Chain A
Amino acid sequence: MQPSLELIDVRKAYGDFVAVGGVSMVVPPGTIFGLLGPNGAGKTTTIRMILDIIAPDSGEVRLFGRPRRPEDLERIGYLPEERGLYRKMTVVEHLAFLGELHGLGPKDATARAERWLERLELADRAKAKVEELSKGMQQKIQLAGTVLHEPEVVILDEPFSGLDPINQGLFKDVLAEFKAEGRTILFSTHVMEQAEKLCDHICLISRGRAILEGELAEIKRRLGGNSYRVVADGDPAAWARIGEVPGVEAVVPGEGEARILLAPEAEGPAVLRELTGLLAVREFRSREPDLEEIFIKAVRDAA
């Protein structure tokens, strides 16, 4: 199947500042794709280039298996990280406006807006002005506006930041439903646990570069064979030195504990012996690696 979205070595610099220094990725159709990385890694710039909000300096954006065309954007729904609505418009008019902007006819757009309001249990607020709604309600409206035109690809930039727990649940439900309907979802986040729970595919971005990309399960198999959890007593200086232990590739520090990822050839018992020289180890257990460890290792490898 043709990938829904493909980036080929996309780059963007502002003067001397390199926002995106070469990102390539392939988003297969019907998947939930996570664009991961710390704040400032270049996720938003990458997304803006996908949507033609800013033009890349070089590289190519392909949609639906061919170079992007202007009309492709009507098949995409986008929820930016910085989001808002026109405060003085009524809810139903606002949704219809967003629908029309994505190519729906006025009647169709209004009908769909009303259906979504039913579904979000906001039908009674259809004629209310946006500014009269609570923040949580506005978030729902925003989501409805993103998907009103039933896009084949939904792109969400940090969708869960600032959401209340009820809306987080709602958003997750909608994403799952979209996936079931065969739509492609790309979302960015800096919270690895969220991505781990939701994504099929991921792309890790660090300092403007894609450093790891592929199917999540495969990545875990490939990179995460050798992960341990360490619980121990020791002073911070000692904890800080566990990354220097031979065979340790990544450390995710915690409170009196750490998750460590070992090199594939490293032996657990040998590492444990080294660790006991630094700390009073109480627990040392093999475990499935999490994305955060993989991310840290990938960043280190890329450096």
Chain B
Amino acid sequence: MRLDKTRVIAKREYLSRVRSKAFWATTVLLPLFMAAMFVGPVLIISRSTSHLDAVLVDGTGVLGPGIAERLSTRGPGVGALAEVELEVVASAVDPEAQRAALDRRLLDEEIDAWIWLDREGLAAGRAEYHARSVSNTLTQEQIEEAISTEVQKLRLTEAGFDPEVVEPLLEPIGLRTLKVSEEGSRAEAGEAGFFLAYGLFFMLYVVLLLWGQQVLQGVLEEKSSRVVEVIVSSARPFELMLGKLVGIGAAALTQFGLWIATAVALTAPALVSALGALPEDVGLPRLTPVQALAVVVFFLLGFFVYASMFAAVGACFNNAQEAQQLSFLPTAFIILPIFFLFPVINDSGGTLAVVTSLVPPLTPILMPLRIAVEMPPFWQVGLAVVLTGLFVYFMVRLCGRIYRVGILMYGKKPTVREIWRWVRYA
């Protein structure tokens, strides 16, 4: 191993990438794209107010106006998703005819829904919601809540309580989420924490995949342009591979580091409060510098695990089409953690999360995910680093053997058995 050779090769790989326009375009555009992907739908849902024309058949004779008012005052605003305009009617003598008439109006698209509320239902704790589509669950919840509150008020009043006293007692409770860590407690919106973890996960996933592919392409380019033999006449194939991994890894780290630094800066308490974008008690999730560092370490480990596999695959084949067959292998290792995404976010200290985040091929993506949700015990993080470090050593050695033979093989596509023989030769 001569480090100077590896350094010269790494320098070339790094500069040729960092100087390219594509690098900076990706660095700027990818986060914007991802932000648009995650924030976009949320914004659209929270901003868009659907309008619902509904008829409430009030068999109780008393609840209708209260419900209508509750729904209309909640109007468009925070938490309200639909503007519900409620027309309150009394129940007719012939309920079947009334129901049929309402169904007709519904089907003629005169109204969007009709709600049936009567004493019988009230006793059973049930109201009916009829609509052409019943998949607007958020709006239904809104209606349900309004009816429930009015019904509770009615029940209490009928039990002898003063309506004036009851009203304020029925005010609903919202959960104010506080995240507790060694640094103390602070308010953090639950959704925001989820999105941070989720966003980090996808960033890792995308970056590892993209940069792994870069390694694959780089090796294939060296082979197809035949430049590789000039290089290996003065650097050993292993030095070349390591130089490539280090150089491309450094470029990947530059990009990832810029993003993480931006994330740390944007979520720093000072900046968030300066922007005053959010109410004081709803904090954005914070990525602390310690967490960021841990994430970067696992990112690097992950890069070496996957990139060495991509390098070995690239070395075996002559072009991208041929390489496609086997490049599913490293890709699969990157994709596999997706299956554990939700369990790990939901219960980041649970057995499943702990075990999967300690399995080396999964660690580079799952451990940062856990770190973003809740800092795991130190011994787990340390063990993960050691295990993955050993795995990296093993993979780089194994792939180095394949690479060494593969890069000088032209022509025929090797079979898996032949590749295995290369490993044993070395």
Contacts and interface: CB of A to CB of B under 8 A. Distances in A.
B230 A97 contact: no
A83 B408 contact: no
Given A53-B232, A54-B408, A97-B12, A103 B4 contact: yes
Interface stretch (A58-66, A86-94, A212-220): A86-94
A51 B16 contact: no
Interface in B375-426: 408, 410
A297 interface: no
A255 interface: no
Contact of B225 (A70, A73, A84): A84
Interface in B236-255: 236
A214 B16 CA distance: 46
Interface stretch (A74-82, A189-197, A203-211, A227-235): A74-82
Most buried by A among B5, B8, B9, B11: B8
A82 B410 CA distance: 10
B233 A145 contact: no
B132 interface: no
A80 B8 contact: no
Contacts of A174: none
Given A54-B408, A86-B16, A89-B16, A101 B8 contact: yes
A85 B229 CA distance: 10
B110 to A, nearest CB: 66
B230 A74 contact: no
A36 B160 CA distance: 114
A76 B230 CA distance: 12
B231 A84 contact: no
Interface in B1-27: 2, 4-5, 8-9, 11-12, 16
Contacts of A76: 233
B227 interface: yes
Contact of A101 (B222, B231, B408, B410): B231
B233 A84 contact: no
Contact of A83 (B2, B8, B9, B230): B230
A142 B233 CA distance: 14
Nearest to A97: B12
B235 interface: yes
B47 interface: no
A73 B408 contact: no
B233 A51 contact: yes
A85 B225 contact: yes
Interface size class of B (residues with CB under 8 A): 20 to 34
B234 interface: yes
A103 B233 CA distance: 13
B233 A73 contact: yes
B51 interface: no
Contacts of B12: 86, 89, 97
Contacts of B9: 101
Contacts of A87: 221, 225
B226 interface: yes
A85 B231 contact: no
Contact of A70 (B2, B226, B231, B232): B2
B226 A84 contact: yes
A98 B235 CA distance: 11
A15 B16 CA distance: 39
Contacts of A98: 230
A227 B73 CA distance: 115
Nearest to B12: A97
A211 B409 CA distance: 28
Interface in A46-72: 48, 51-54, 70
A276 B242 CA distance: 69
B230 A78 contact: yes
Contacts of B231: 101
A240 to B, nearest CB: 34
B262 to A, nearest CB: 28
A48 B404 CA distance: 13
Interface string B204-216: 0000000000000
Contacts of B235: 101
A112 interface: no
B230 A145 contact: yes
Contact of A73 (B11, B222, B234, B410): B234
Given A70-B2, A97-B12, A101-B8, A84 B234 contact: no
Nearest to A54: B408
Contacts of A48: 408
A73 B12 CA distance: 20
Contact of A88 (B5, B16, B408): B16
B408 A53 contact: yes
A201 interface: no
A263 to B, nearest CB: 42
Contact of B233 (A80, A88, A89, A100): A80
A43 interface: no
A102 interface: yes
A39 B402 CA distance: 27
B16 A82 contact: no
Given A54-B408, A101-B234, A103-B4, A83 B229 contact: yes
Q: Which 6 residue pairs are nearest across A and B when measured between Cβ atoms?
A: A84-B226, A84-B225, A78-B233, A80-B229, A82-B226, A84-B227
Interface of A: 48, 51-54, 70, 73-74, 76, 78-80, 82-89, 97-98, 100-103, 142, 145-146
24 contacts: A53-B229, A53-B408, A70-B2, A73-B233, A78-B230, A78-B233, A80-B226, A80-B233, A82-B226, A83-B226, A83-B229, A84-B226, A84-B227, A85-B227, A86-B222, A86-B225, A87-B221, A87-B225, A89-B16, A100-B11, A101-B231, A101-B235, A142-B230, A145-B230
Interface of B: 2, 4-5, 8-9, 11-12, 16, 221-222, 225-227, 229-236, 408, 410
Given A84-B230, A98-B230, 18 more contacts: A48-B408, A74-B234, A79-B230, A82-B410, A83-B226, A83-B227, A83-B229, A83-B230, A84-B227, A86-B12, A97-B12, A100-B11, A101-B9, A101-B234, A102-B234, A103-B4, A142-B230, A146-B230
